[in-house]
Structure 1
Amino acid sequence: MRDDGRDDSRRDGLMDGRLRAVLFAAVVIGAFIEVSTPHRRYGPLVDMFALAAVGVVGAAAVWGSESAAPPARQRDRPGPEHPSGATAPICRYVTGPAAPQSQPPKPRPFLRERPTDLSVPRFGDGARAQGYPWLLPERTVQNGIAADEATVGAFTLRAASVIGPGHRCGRPAEPRQDSYRIGRSRDSRHAIVAVADGLSSAAWSDAGATTASSQAVTLLREQIETVGFGGLDVKDLYGRIAASIAGHAAGRGVEPSHLATVLITAVLAEPDANGVARAWVAWLGDSSAWTLDPHVPLWRFSAGEAKDRTAAVVSNEVAGRLPDTPHLARDHYVTLAPGAALALVTDGIGDAWADPAGNVNTYFANAWRSPVPATRFTADVGFDAPQCLDDRTAVVLWNGGRA
């Protein structure tokens, strides 16, 4: 990169040097003429003053050149605290590239970048949008970040949802379209989780996702109390959630499709005598469930609508969604050994985990091998990776064995 400020300083220094040289030459010539001219009175005294003038002007020229020279670099001068001459490193928090002081600041781009947040894990070169400022949507919406931690019986739970770079830096910005809810049965023998992901094509999908996740936990608690863990009914559950979303749309005066969302839910029953727990997972759309063996550093796909990774272009179109097609919802049972974990995630995380070309899955398998503080968990969910611009939400439950 060209340093225009340094070039300007160099040119200024050359000009000053030339002026001093011309002045010095003029004084020398004048002194020579003065000394060579005979004087009737005080000849030696006049000659002495002329020669003194040459010395003064010469000394001033040399002094001016030294003072105009750039200061020596800090690393070339031994510091006072290091007699050996080694210079102590100067540590600073750098908030961005410093502009040359001799130039006016450059115009800021329409979306100006800020330094990448070093508290979040970064993969490859990251995403450029990760460094853009966070902006607010035009309407009042849910918070850009949500997080929780809890213990339900033998299960340790962490949850976080972070608005994606693609939604938070647009003009206008969009709301976080992911939503999650966590809950438990009255006796704490069952942990309940719901994770929803609103469709970007739906104008009010954030409201649809919030309604779906909230209703899911409420209705699952009712089913546990009435029919028990073995009687959980996916068709009844998703049908009633669809009705709630349609009712919410009617209250807003919009079409139900404007609140379109996908949803994945889970109920975890307390571990048996051997510490093994069972989880009932139900889903509609491309959010997914993953399991982690603490001895194998890899999250394994367990339930959800898997995308075709062999295709030249991976499609984001979902086969089912709420409130339009609740009858397409499916369910599946998962077994968790002691120490194993179950994660419910939106595709903002699931797509990164499923990508065989990256090392995102391996990182999260090692980072979440056991429960971490909620702050660390949230920072991980806000990871920076190329082309990962969607909202990302994860709820993870670790099976601690029989409580």
Structure 2
Amino acid sequence: MSRDYGRRDGPMGGRWRAALFVAVVIGAFVEISTPHHRYGPLVDVFALAAVGVVGAAAALGFDSAATSPGQRDRLAPEPKPGTAPTICRYVTGPAAPQPPAQAPKPRPFLRERPTDLGVPRFGDGARAQGYPWLLPERTVQNGIAADEATVGAFTLRAASVIGPGHRCAQPAEPRQDSYRIGRSRDSRHAIVAVADGLSSAARSDAGATTASSQAVTLLREQLGTVGFDGLDVKELYGRIADAVAAQATGRGVDTSHLATVLITAVLAEPDANGVARAWVGWLGDSSAWTLDPRDALWRFSGGEAKDRAAAVVSNEVAGRLPDTPQLARDDYVMLAPGAALALVTDGIGDAWADQAGNINEYFANSWRSPVPATRFTADVGFDAPQCLDDRTAVVIWNGGRA
């Protein structure tokens, strides 16, 4: 159909239209110039209208003829036999090749929030650090806890942050660390307890909370009855074990479900030289560290040390509550003016003990003196490879005179 239409409207058709147009115009002028006895104006109007109609038809014919038959053939290819003619007359060219359909690719994981704003990051960090925080199925303690206080010459900062390995698990697990801070009735002693529930125990968060709370309460009692020099670690941990076991009985579960480790400390007011003594008792792998203000590292001072020379560092503990309170041990630590004592769970202690990284050095510089509780908490929530456990730290700075 397109080729037949092209032959009728080719260059010859255009010339015939032009000749017809010229003839009509000449005839119209002759008609207008000839006098008429009747209907003269009406005849003139019809003559001019005829010129307009023929002129418009000629113009349309010239526009159509401006396209050669070959061009129209390329613009509107003739349909193949047995196929319906195309509806669109003008085609811009061959269709661009379309890529084969593909299944949508899964979106790459995007961190819910940046981990390098306010939270110290070491190396590449841990991938789980950026996962969304999920809630456990049961009602548990908060994912973050923090405190700051002053007791006599001592300045305290405390924070506990649920680890990435617990808060983004499926299902999420509760924070299994717990701490308590307190003082003697006369404010001459600061009291600290840090507990770390065992991951293998189904209700270890309850065991840790009970152990830390009971520890501060019972240490205050001992200070009131036997004084600082009479503190008894065996009697203390035995009574704490009884309290944890009672919790298990009340919940109708075995005592192993509330298994936890515990480290405690009591700091006596500084002497005339500004030196303070600290009593430290522990059961399990939570640890005590000291920092001299002139030193660049935190130094291990108490707790169940892990064998870092072993090919695989074991997380198994020799003692735990409430099963083996008789394995508790204690020692005394001296703190010079400006020095600090830190009680930490292994979520921090393991990172400090790893001398291959610079985590210990960072915390030595960051906590050389007391910092606001908000910054302290952000430090405790640090991001580092393979550091997925809960982390808790209580630091006491000796502000005794130099």
Tell me which interval the TM-score lies in, with the shorter structure as reference length: 0.7 to 0.9
Alpha-carbon distance change, 276 to 197 in structure 1, aligned in 2, over 3 angstroms: same
2:112 equivalent among 105, 111, 114: 114
Deviations 1:362-402 (A, max 9, x none): 11111111111101110110111100000000000111115
CA contact (8 A) 1:284 1:330 kept: yes
Alpha-carbon distance change, 53 to 124 in structure 1, aligned in 2, over 3 angstroms: farther
Deviations 1:263-319 (A, max 9, x none): 000000001111111100000000000011111121111101111111111100001
Deviations 1:232-273 (A, max 9, x none): 011110011111111111111111111100000000000111
The whole-number CA distance in structure 1 between the counterparts of 2:66 and 2:347 is 80
Q: Counterpart of 1:336 in structure 2: which amino acid?
A: L
2:292 pairs with 1:293: yes
SS of residue in 2 equivalent to 1:38: helix
1:38 equivalent among 6, 9, 15: 15
SS of residue in 2 equivalent to 1:321: coil
Match of 2:237 in 1: 238
SS of residue in 2 equivalent to 1:302: strand
- After TM superposition, the structure 1 = structure 2 runs for residues 49-198 of structure 1, keeping only pairs within 5 Å, are 50=63, 113-117=111-115, 118-198=117-197
TM-score of the two chains, using structure 2 as the length reference: 0.76
Match of 1:396 in 2: 395
- After TM superposition, the structure 1 = structure 2 runs for residues 269-284 of structure 1, keeping only pairs within 5 Å, are 269-284=268-283
Alpha-carbon distance change, 53 to 201 in structure 1, aligned in 2, over 3 angstroms: farther
**Cα shift at 1:114:** 2.1
- Name which one, 1 or 2, has greater alpha-carbon Rg: 2
Bigger mean CA deviation after superposition, 213-222 or 42-51:
42-51
2:333 pairs with 1:334: yes
Q: Counterpart of 1:338 in structure 2: which amino acid?
A: P
CA contact (8 A) 2:14 2:65 kept: no
Match of 1:92 in 2: none
Match of 2:83 in 1: none
SS of residue in 2 equivalent to 1:197: strand
The whole-number CA distance in structure 1 between the counterparts of 2:63 and 2:368 is 88
SS of residue in 1 equivalent to 2:342: strand
RMSD: 2.7
SS of residue in 2 equivalent to 1:377: helix
CA contact (8 A) 2:143 2:161 kept: yes
CA contact (8 A) 2:154 2:396 kept: yes
SS of residue in 2 equivalent to 1:289: strand
Structure 1: runs of 5+ lacking an equivalent: 1-28, 55-64, 66-102
Q: Counterpart of 1:396 in structure 2: which amino acid?
A: V
**Cα shift at 1:115:** 3.4
Number of matched pairs: 327
2:346 pairs with 1:343: no
The whole-number CA distance in structure 1 between the counterparts of 2:297 and 2:325 is 32
CA contact (8 A) 1:35 1:50 kept: no
**Cα shift at 1:107:** 5.2
**Cα shift at 1:41:** 3.9
